[in-house]
A and B are shown apart, each in its own frame.
Chain A
Amino acid sequence: MRANNMAAMILAGGRGSRLHELTKKVAKPAVHFGGKYRIIDFPLSNCANSGISTVGVLTQYESVLLNAYVAKDQFWGLDTNNGGVYVLTPRETDDKGLDVFRGTADAITQNIDFLDSINPEYVLILSGDHIYKMNYEKMLAYHQRKQADATIAVLQVTLEEATRFGIMNCDKDDMIEEFEEKPAHPKSNLASMGIYIFNYKTLRKYLLQDDKNPDSSHDFGKDIIPTYLNDHRRLAAYRFKGYWKDVGTVDSLWESNMDLLESNNQLDLGDQGWKIYTENINSLPTYIGDEAKINNAYITQGSIVLGEVKNSVIGTGAEIGKGAKVVDSVIQPGAKIGEGAKVTRCIVADNVEVAPGAVLGSSKSEHIDLVAKKYAE
């Protein structure tokens, strides 16, 4: 495949601490979603579908599983001759010793030698923990049309939500005039999605300059973008329409799983023209027992359903025992729900065993219960 001259760098170092036990041993991008996927499958598949051949994945927190996972670039068809997935972790260097990534921009700065070796014309900065489908090639065409130094993908949110995002204030041509991080009184509803396209040569200069600034927090949103604006660089906002979720909490992870149950849901994972790829697990199709009852569910192969499933997402290799009742819940891969157990409004974490007859969660709970103990009674 002949690829475009844009390299992608996926920031996948964060813990996602509000996911609690789900990210105790794996970084947030490796958390399972939709029964068979991991969150990072979304940016990786988007890259593959957008004709990007070189993808760097920057990892830091609990990265053993994540590093091994993304290194298998054949899962996403990224194992081409001139490209691939490159796992980039903090490393010991001759001049600086061993340093962790101090911020999103610093993670890229510390890998400037890698980018130099690729020598791309454009660099696409992505986050490894967002769920969405996006054609970055279209965004690049827009970036070129706007003759911008940088283009930032933005999402229209409500003014209420805008207080939680980095907000772009733009002129009538969608060129960014001002950037406000979590403004109390937002002037616009265009929220940054943390997706940037930069002209590499310019970005390189700014990164090296930022690296020397002792007052910088080395962050794209807080430091690099404001400096671009101060220098009157051309920054374009690229309006994205469609499904986009940053699943930062147990509740929001549950919600976006539930979104999949709506027929004609916006994410539409069944879209043959924009598939989301993931690990190929050699499992059987779903076995559904004679006494099973299934109503409004999203179930992936390798699972066994002998009991009742309602409004729920069932992951690879999960088992729902006889007489068990799973309602409004997300059962992550490999979890087993014992006979007669009742699970309501829960996320049952990977490989957890729920004891027979156990009653977990409640239909009246304000928040979603996370069941993460190896054996839950």
Chain B
Amino acid sequence: MKALGIISFENSQANVGGLDDYRPVPAISFLGRYRIIDFILSNMTNSGIDNVHVYCKEKPRNLFDHLGAGQQYNINSKRGQLRILYGEKSFAAEVYNNDIANYMLNMQYIEEDSNPYVIVAPSYFIYSLDFTNVLQQHIESKSDITVLYTNTSEAKEHFLDCDTLTMDKDKRITEIGHNRGKRKSAAISLEAYVLSKNLFIELVKKASETSSLYWFRDILNDSLEELTVTGYGIKGFVGCINSLSEYFRITMALSDRATAKGLFKPGWPIYTQTNDSAPTIYGKTSDVCGSVIANGCVIEGTVADSVVSRNVTIRKGAIIKNSIILPGAYIGENAKLDHVIVDKYAIIHHVKELKGTAEEPVYVKRRDRI
């Protein structure tokens, strides 16, 4: 495919409370064995994009560890390249650490790339999509920019703070707004853009000259009149992990097989790094139902309607319900968890009961000991 993949980072409103204190959003563990970035990156490589830039906003270690040179994403190691681009500059304030500033810092790598098109997409939107069709339609439509979107009738509850699109009957975008949860229905922008590389560079430079606080969506918004910007609707599962409650809700939704089928499609593998964990042992005292369980766990307790990641230990008498347990956590005997997110390597030992709600799950910090 004749496109450079650019994985941009989440907008500044995204705040996956607690989880993103320790790692950038793309590197957050997801659905037992994945990281959030696996989805967009697999979409790109499955679409035949062999050159991918991953922009990292902060805390790059997790991302370097997880992505490596990208072989596990099926990137041809000779003809393709996965680049992790970190700002390499300390910004005077958080607000200056936006996508445009990072593109500008790495402009030479974008200019050097020989692909005529770029496909820009952030990792915190989770969906499954063949970009080949998007690029083809983009070329045929003679649009300057194609913007991916999804229609939702749950805009009051979900996709809060995401961009919304207003389109005319030819799907030409006339306005980019903000979802403040006022209306039920909305076309939510996936912040994913297809355009020629030259136009991309031009817009990035223009944005940078206009304001050092500008994001790409801002310069796009400014250009809606002079450029033809068209929407491309996608169907199937779409989620945006921009808050802890959405992280919780989306994970739980995907633990249902019927919902998961809208994301995991035959012939469209979602790649991730292997951990070479052994299969999971379900002991004689275990009782597990309605859950998603990764490898490497030892389960002796009760697990219902939960997602359990790799190498988790759940001791006898523990009861885990409606919870997400991240890799390496230890849940001691008789602990009772309901609506809890337990971060990596946390140890729950003496506390006997933790209870949250779907809207406000209890979060147990990484390596915490309680």
A290 to B255, CA, bound (A): 11
| A299 interface residue per 8 A CB criterion | yes
A13 to B284, CA, bound (A): 39
Stretch from B47-55, B275-283, B334-342 contacting the other chain: B275-283
Per-position contact with A for B285-319: 1 when CB-CB < 8 Å, else 0? Answer: 01111111111101000000001000000000000
Tell which of A291, A293, A296, A298 touches B279, judged by Cβ atoms closer than 8 Å: A298
| A34 interface residue per 8 A CB criterion | yes
Given contacts A263-B283, A277-B276, A280-B72, A291 and B289 within 8 Å (CB-CB)? yes
Contact A269 B278 (CB under 8 A): yes
Contact B298 A290 (CB under 8 A): no
A residues less than 8 Å from B296 (CB atoms): 270
Contact A285 B32 (CB under 8 A): yes
In A262-310, the 8 Å CB interface with B consists of: 263, 269-270, 275-278, 280, 282, 284-301, 304, 309
A293 to B284, CA, bound (A): 12
Per-position contact with A for B155-192: 1 when CB-CB < 8 Å, else 0? Answer: 00000000000000000000000000000000000000
| B33 interface residue per 8 A CB criterion | yes
Tell which of B278, B288, B291 touches A276, judged by Cβ atoms closer than 8 Å: B278
Nearest opposing residue in chain A for B309, CB measure: A285
Contact A300 B292 (CB under 8 A): no
| A336 interface residue per 8 A CB criterion | no
| B243 interface residue per 8 A CB criterion | no
B182 to chain A, nearest CB (A): 36
Contact A282 B282 (CB under 8 A): no
A65 to chain B, nearest CB (A): 20
Contact A285 B295 (CB under 8 A): yes
Contact A297 B282 (CB under 8 A): yes
Contact B289 A293 (CB under 8 A): yes
A122 to chain B, nearest CB (A): 27
B residues less than 8 Å from A298 (CB atoms): 279-282
Nearest opposing residue in chain B for A77, CB measure: B276
| A36 interface residue per 8 A CB criterion | yes
| B31 interface residue per 8 A CB criterion | yes
A314 to B280, CA, bound (A): 10
B76 to chain A, nearest CB (A): 14
Contact B274 A294 (CB under 8 A): no
**How many A-B contacts if CB must be within 8 Å?**
105
Contact A304 B294 (CB under 8 A): no
Per-position contact with B for A351-373: 1 when CB-CB < 8 Å, else 0? Answer: 00000000000000000000000
Contact A301 B290 (CB under 8 A): no
Contact B271 A282 (CB under 8 A): yes
Contact B278 A289 (CB under 8 A): no
B266 to chain A, nearest CB (A): 12
A294 to B279, CA, bound (A): 14
A residues less than 8 Å from B291 (CB atoms): 288
Contact A304 B269 (CB under 8 A): no
Tell which of A275, A284, A291, A299 touches B280, judged by Cβ atoms closer than 8 Å: A299
| A166 interface residue per 8 A CB criterion | no
Interface residues of A (CB under 8 A from B): 34-36, 74, 260-261, 263, 269-270, 275-278, 280, 282, 284-301, 304, 309, 313-314
Excluding A269-B279, A295-B287, 18 further A-B contacts by CB distance (< 8 Å) are A34-B278, A36-B295, A270-B281, A275-B276, A282-B272, A284-B264, A285-B32, A285-B294, A286-B280, A286-B292, A287-B255, A287-B260, A288-B293, A292-B288, A292-B289, A295-B286, A296-B286, A301-B294
Ordered by A's residue number, 27 sampled pairs between the chains whose C-beta atoms are within 8 Å are A36-B279, A74-B71, A260-B281, A269-B278, A269-B279, A270-B277, A275-B278, A276-B276, A276-B278, A278-B276, A282-B270, A284-B264, A285-B32, A285-B293, A285-B295, A287-B255, A293-B287, A294-B282, A294-B287, A298-B279, A298-B280, A299-B279, A299-B293, A300-B279, A300-B295, A304-B257, A309-B282
